[in-house]
Amino acid sequence: MNPDALRGHMDALLLSVLEREPLHGYAIIEALLERSGGALNVPTGTVYPALRRLERIGYLSSEWATVGGRKRRTYRLTASGRKQLEGERSAWREFTNVIGGVLRAEATAQG
């Protein structure tokens, strides 16, 4: 997938993955890969700074936990993060409806 296509959507993707359960960074990357059918292979250099930023603004909280014998920072969605995720989903639906309408209209005009 074109990395430019993800620009502006990473926050929503991360919040969505953390909606189900708290996860550590590598598990978040694996979840993105799995839930996208292998299309989203996001590098750690993109994910970890975004997680830290989302934590700073209050959408995530974190704590150290031992996972598989290794100490890792585990991230959890906050109430504010859940509210933001709903806003992101609403904005995504509106975006896809608008863009879909334009693309359908274009296809119909040429069809």
Tens of pLDDT, residue by residue over 25-58, are 999 999 999 999 999 998 899 999 999 999 999 9
Q: In angstroms, how far is CA 43 from the centroid of its own chain?
A: 13
Distance from C-alpha of 91 to C-alpha of 94, rounded to nearest angstrom: 5
Backbone angles phi, psi at 7, to 5 degrees: -55, 125
CA–CA distances in Å: residue 81 to residues 37, 67, 68, 103: 25, 24, 27, 32
Domain boundaries, the chain: 3-99
Q: What local confidence, expressed as pLDDT, does residue 39 receive?
A: 92
What stretches of the chain adopt beta strand conformation (E)?
Answer: 23-24, 60-67, 70-77
Q: What is the CATH number of domain 3-99?
A: 1.10.10.10
Q: For all residues of the chain together, what is the average pLDDT? A: 90
Distance from C-alpha of 40 to C-alpha of 55, rounded to nearest angstrom: 22
By three-state DSSP, how is residue 25 classified? Answer: helix
